Structure formats: C-alpha cells, structure tokens
Amino acid sequence: MRSLTQYRRIVQVAAVAVLLLLNACAPGGNSDAGPAPSKPVSTGVGSEPVTLKLLVNSGVDVPFYTALGELFHAKYDNVTVKVENQDYATLTTTIARILAGSNVPDLVRVSQLGNLIEDRLLTSLDPYAKTYGWDQWPQSQFASTRVGPDGKQRGTGALYAAGAGFGLTGVYYNKALAQRIGMTRPPATVAEFGQLLAKAKDAGLQPIMINGKDGGSVYPLQNLVMSSAGDAQAVQDWNYAKPGASIDNPATVKAATTLQRWGQDGYLPADVNDIDQTRAPAEFVKGNGVFFPSGNWQAPGLDKAGAGEFGFFLFPPGEAGGPSYAMTAAANLGIPAKSPNADVAAAFLDFVQTNQQARQATVTLGGLVPAGPSNASAPTAPQGSAVAATVSAFQELLTSNGLVGFMADATASIHVNSLIPQTQLLLAGKTTPEAYAAKVQSDYERDLGQ
C-alpha cells in the first residue's frame, strides 16, 4: 500500500494540474458573471425534507454519485439525493434545453460550459466559494471552470462548476494477455506500441478494445497528435481558443493516418463504431482486448472485476525518452440557474471535496484524484491495483508537466458534432487523414464564430 505521505502529496498537488494546463491564473469573481443566487447564500441545508436531484453521465458516474449521495444523506438525513443520468453525447447535446426547461436538476454534470454561460443557464458559484472558503484553497483547481461572459475564454471570470476530483487518460492492459505477447514493460514509443499490437494480432488476440460509438477512439487520436508533434502546446492552444490556434497540421494528419491504419490492420475491433462506453470495459474484462485506452474512471470497475489483473500505462511518446502526455479534466458539477435547492447543492459540492469518506470514495469508486483543500485527508489505494497505477501516473505527469485538456472540451459541440462523427468516418475509411484535420478545424472555427 502506498504511504500516506505519497498520497498526501498527490492530493496537495492535484489542484496544480489545472493551472499547468491553462498556463493562467484563476482570479476571483467577475462583475459580468452569470446569475448569482437570488438571496444571500447559506451553508445550511435546513431541516425540511429535500430531494436533491443530480443529472450525471451514464456509466461509472451513476454508482459513484449514488455513493456520494448516500454519504451526504448519512450526514444530513433530511436530504435524499436522487441520481439521474444520460449518456455523455446525449447530455452534451440536450443540457441547454434541460436547464432552460421547467424540470431542472439541482446539480448537473458539465463537461463543456460555452453556451451555458452565454445563455446564463448556470449559477455563479463565487458567492458560495467565498462563504465556504473555497477561495482560500489552491485556486488552480477551479481555473478550468472560470469562464468569461462570452462563454469562450476560460481560466478567467466567474466560477461555474466544481468537482470531486480529476480524470486522467492512458492505456489499460490485461496483464496475463500482455505477458503472452512478450510485453515486459510499457512500450517506450508509439512504434513499440504498434509492434505489440501486431504481436497481439498474430497471437489471435484482439489488440485494442475501445468505444468508437461515443468517442473513446478520440483519446488515442489526441495522444497520437501530441506524440507526433512531440509537444502538446498546439493542442493546448486549440483547447482554450487561443487566437490563431489550429490542428489542421502535419501532426494531426500523421496521427489520423496511424489510427486509420490500426483499424485497417485489425488492431481495433471490426465493429469499433458500434461499441459504446458500457460495452467496451465489459469486453475488456472478458479478455477481448489486450489493451484498452480509457480514463481513470474505469479503474475501480476493473479492480472489482479482477483485482490485480489489469495494469495501466501512459500513452507512449513518439520518440524514446520523449514526453508523455495525458488528458485530464475535473469531474465538474454545476448548479443550474433554475435549481430549486441551490444552497443544498452547494453544500453537496463542499461535502464531496472536504469529507474524508467522500474523498476516499472519489479514489476507490470514482477512480479520480481528489479535489479540495491542500491539507485535506489523504485517500489510499491497494498496491498493484489499477486505481493505484492511475494515481501514480497522475503524480508522474504533474512532475513532467504532461497534463493536457481534452480536445473534446474545446467547444460546446466539437465532440458530438465533429470529433465523434469524423473519427468514425476515418475508421470506416470514408474520409482521409487530410480531410479529417481540415474538417475538424473548420467545425471548430464555426463553433467559435471565427
């Protein structure tokens, strides 16, 4: 088991990750912020019965937030937390309509803020941050959810969301199957990874299991872009709408070429575009896949399915000894402007970041590195577990400055309307790598009104 000192350091530096991502400071409130609470905020939850409705992504979010809700109810027995869910793509598409409607949740999982800020559909959390003392915590952890009034510039402006912890992407592997193909250590380069994929194919194994239906195939695509470039700056600039940012470049074309070739060579499932984020881990657990590119939110489920059977490594660089990169983002919840229980919702946000049991659940159930104050309790994870491996990888990347935002979060619609369909077309052989790079960039500029 990792030492308490190691995990405390992880907790203390986790918040710094977002600052490294943004290369920007996180200032305080903004006078042009979206709706603030209509009355002075309170840290109490009252004594009257309350049903706090959470709307989150389907899959691993559901048991995770259900568990957090039960812990919250144990402390505040008048509050019942009801967890509802939609799949990621659907929620991303429908969230604005839901928040503008009449049946509005109290907390909602938000990945892209964009038009939600411009249309004033989320409550500014600045008053709660001041009341609860979040403004005394490391502010870098809130930087990605501070947004200017135009809904585009991130890292500045009012605070609109907070989360229990941070995600991280990489590659899971089945230890027994990896041993069968002669893997004794994680691949040092993309080329070495490709050699392992070829060995898996020759051994009659499925080299990679991945969910192309709802965007899992975008993860290796982004990693290949950064590995091809040997640097993540162009992707970072694109993620945060830096003027002139573009991914219509040789690195993206090379990455798309590699991913398309992996599909043609049978390294990806034949029906990759029909596999979703529920089926992919289930197939991987059954042994249908030596490798599974995904995020740390999968780690608890893999450990439960087979303790010690699955490992995790960071996506390899293009050149030996080169930098490794991983995508990260906070598991953010926002309070809708129409939330009927905003004070209770804010109390829940504070609870999941500060309560010792909730923080432990963030690691063991959510697979996430906890957010919160730097002096908060340090969670633990069993040695040799997939969870421990992902947390260790997070710490490694903090040291190397290798954490990067998701291309999927660059604009409110880029993932659903461009990255997913264009990557599906790429894997189906219905678009070229050059056309792929040009189309995604064109869609990005359309989203930003450029």
**Where does the pLDDT of residue 96 fall: very low under 50, low under 70, confident under 90, or very high at 90 and above?**
very high
User: Is the pLDDT score of 26 beyond 50?
Assistant: no
Q: Report domain extents, the chain.
A: 24-166+330-378, 169-327+404-447
Nearest to 338 by CA among 80, 98, 41: 98
Nearest to 120 by CA among 335, 415, 332, 350: 335
Over its C-alpha atoms, the chain yields an Rg (Å, rounded) of 21
Q: What is the pTM of this model?
A: 0.79
Give the model confidence (pLDDT) of 58-95 as tens digits: 988 999 999 999 999 999 999 999 999 998 888 988 99
For strands 403-404 and 169-174, give the pairing: unpaired
User: Is the pLDDT score of 327 beyond 60?
Assistant: yes
Sheet with 291-295, strands from edge to edge, namely 291-295, 169-174, 310-313
Percentage above 70 pLDDT, the chain? 91
Q: Which of the following CATH numbers is that of domain 169-327+404-447: 3.40.190.10, 3.40.50.12160, 3.30.1490.190, 3.40.50.300?
A: 3.40.190.10
The single residue listed with the structure tokens 């027994």 is 176
What's the CA gap between 436 and 433, in Å, rounded?
A: 5
pLDDT at 39: 60
As given in the structure block, the two tokens for residue 444 are 């990005």
What's the CA gap between 15 and 28, in Å, rounded?
A: 16
Same fold: 24-166+330-378 with 169-327+404-447: yes
pLDDT at 286: 97
For strands 107-109 and 158-159, give the pairing: unpaired
- How many residues are there in the chain? 450
What is the overall mean pLDDT for the chain?
A: 89
pLDDT at 33: 52
pLDDT at 429: 97
Tell me which of 13-17, 215-219, 221-225, 314-318 is least confident.
13-17
Tell me which of 1-5, 169-173, 271-275 is least confident.
1-5
SS3 labels along the chain: CCCHHHHHHHHHHHCHHHHHHHCCCCCCCCCCCCCCCCCCCCCCCCCCCEEEEEEEECCCHHHHHHHHHHHHHHHCCCEEEEEEEECHHHHHHHHHHHHHCCCCCCEEECCCCHHHHHCCCECCCHHHHHHHCHHHCCHHHHHHHEECCCCCCECCCEECCEEEEECCEEEEEEHHHHHHCCCCCCCCCHHHHHHHHHHHHHCCCCCECCCCCCCCCHHHHHHHHHHHHCCCHHHHHHHCCCCCCCCCCHHHHHHHHHHHHHHHCCCCCCCHHHCCCCHHHHHHHCCCCCEEEEEHHHHHHHHHHCCCCEEEECCCCCCCCCCCCEECCEEEEECECCCCCHHHHHHHHHHHHHCHHHHHHHHHCCCCEECCCCCCCCCCCCCCCHHHHHHHHHHHHHHHCCEECCHHHCCCCHHHHHHHHHHHHHHCCCCCHHHHHHHHHHHHHHHCCC
What is the fold, at CATH topology level, of the domain defined by 24-166+330-378?
A: D-Maltodextrin-Binding Protein; domain 2 (3.40.190)
Give the model confidence (pLDDT) of 157-202 as tens digits: 899 999 899 889 999 999 999 999 999 999 999 999 999 999 999 9
pLDDT at 332: 92
pLDDT at 335: 97
Percentage above 90 pLDDT, the chain? 68
> Is 298 within 8 Å of 367 (Cβ atoms)?
yes
What's the CA gap between 314 and 312, in Å, rounded?
A: 7
User: Is the pLDDT score of 152 beyond 60?
Assistant: yes
Give the model confidence (pLDDT) of 328-371 as tens digits: 888 899 999 999 999 999 999 999 999 999 999 999 888 888 88
161, 162, 165, 169: CA torsion to nearest 10? 20
What's the CA gap between 399 and 321, in Å, rounded?
A: 15
